[in-house]
Structure formats: C-alpha cells, structure tokens
Structure 1
Amino acid sequence: MEAVERDRDEDGRARNARPRDGLGRPLPRGATGVPTMPDDLTVTPAEALEQAQRLLDADRPFHAHEVLEAAWKAAPAPERELWRGLAQLAVGVTHARRGNPAGAGRLLGRAADRLGAYAADPPHGIDVAGLIRFCATGDGTPRLRAG
C-alpha cells in the first residue's frame, strides 16, 4: 500500500489543502469547493466582525469561524477569550447546519460561557447579550453587532 503524502506547513504541522464544501466538510481531492480563508489571515477586529457577519449571512459559518479564529490568535490577552467564544459560536452554528445538534449545543454553551465575561462592557460594539441569547436558542443567524 502506497503512503499518502500529507499536506504540511514549513514547521511540519498538518494542513489540509483538500477542497471544502460550504459547511467546511472536506471534499475529494480534485473536486471544486468553496474558497477557504488563508492560514495567515490577518484582520483588525472591525474587519473580522464585518467578514464573519457577511459569511454567517451567506450560511458559511465554518468560514466565519476561520476569520474569528484569526482574530482570536491575534487578539491582545484581555480579549482573547472573547474572540475564542465568537469562533466557538460559529463552529456551533456549523455543527447545527451539519445536523449535529449535540455538538452544536456543547459549542454554543462554551461560547456563551466565554462571551458572558464580556457582557458588562462589550468591546468593538459586539452584541454580547444578543449572542448569548442566540447561543441559548440557536434560532436564525447570529448578529455579531447590535443594529
């Protein structure tokens, strides 16, 4: 049996260059998928919120998660858990859209717990209270900012 060559970055970490569908599921090699975010994506908080909302509105929560994860990795320490919670919210929506309500519930619960720490003074105009309500119900499309 011939070994399959795996995609690796320059540090040897596994990468998956396979195309993906709109919900982030890997497709067979050579299939046409939807574009994903680059691994080295750099965004400001405002750009992350705008891009992620646009992707959520287009029912591409997996891709919104990638944008929010980039913001999480670049965030200053006091905001890191906020962005982690937002990324978990998007993954929770991804699981719901993929038909995995148990996984969605777990991730949305974790997201709400993380976001709750920012409820008294939400940065960047993020609608923390609305997002926590969304995590409890999972109804509709989450709105990252009020308005």
Structure 2
Amino acid sequence: MLYLGFYNFKRYTFDSIPKSNARWGRLRTDGKKTTLTVKEIVDDSLSGTNEWEVTVNDFDEALMILEKLGLSHKTYQENTRDEFLLGDSKISIDHWPKLGYLLEIESEKVEDVKNCAELLGFDEDEIITTDIKSLYLERGIDLDDIRELKF
C-alpha cells in the first residue's frame, strides 16, 4: 500500500438550480489543488454517483466568480483525509467534525472496490454507499441547518 498524503480540506457547497437533493456543487481546496465539482446521485449502488470536475487556480477567486453569478454558497465545511493507493483502488480515511473517521474506497471498477475491501478485512455486506449528509442525519445532525461545519 502506497501512502499518498494528508489533506486538510475546506469546501463550499452549492445547491443546484432547481434545487435537488440528488445534485449539488462543491468548490474544494486542500491548499494546493482546488476543484469545482458537480455531484449527482443516480442510485445507491457503488457506481451510483456521477461527478464532473475541473481544476481551478484560486479558491477565493472561484468563490467570487460563483457569487457574482448569483450562486451563494449553502455551507462551508472542513474535513481531513489520509489517502492511500492499493492496486487500482484509492483508499481515504476521512475525519469529519462531529462525525469521526470514515473509510472510503474508490476505483474505476466495482469489483476492485469489493476486492480492496476484502484485502482490508471487510466482508462485502459491510460495504455501504451512504453519503456524508445521510451519515450526519443518522446522528441527528441535519447539514441543511448548519452553515459552517468546522473542527
């Protein structure tokens, strides 16, 4: 397993127009790389989320451009990540305020995700596809009611 690095993320999230719980925008930076992403949940399978992403040069300038277009951010969020590579799978250990640590496995093929999980000692029935917003809701925290999520 190859260690890829530690990241301290900060992000702004944006509702889609028209608003949809299955689609949203994200402007995120780790201080070195900044991306603008649209995420869309198609279904709750391992491959059920579509993403469109571009790299932008400046976090604050990108936020200003979006706001000048009339898109005000819904939330500001922070989290940290340790990232690893195992075969063709990317493994992330994320830490979220008031939520704790989560393990995420991403790969091009669903079968690679399952194989990686097995190598890490997980059974296939332990694999979940729950998004962050839903994980917070399970703990009684509605991210729609929290403007800032910080450590």
Structure showing the higher strand proportion among its residues: 2
Structure showing the higher helix proportion among its residues: 1
The alignment's TM-score, normalised by the length of structure 1, stands at 0.24
The alignment's TM-score, normalised by the length of structure 2, stands at 0.24
- Compare relative contact order (CA 8 Å, sep 6+) and give the higher one, 1 or 2: 2
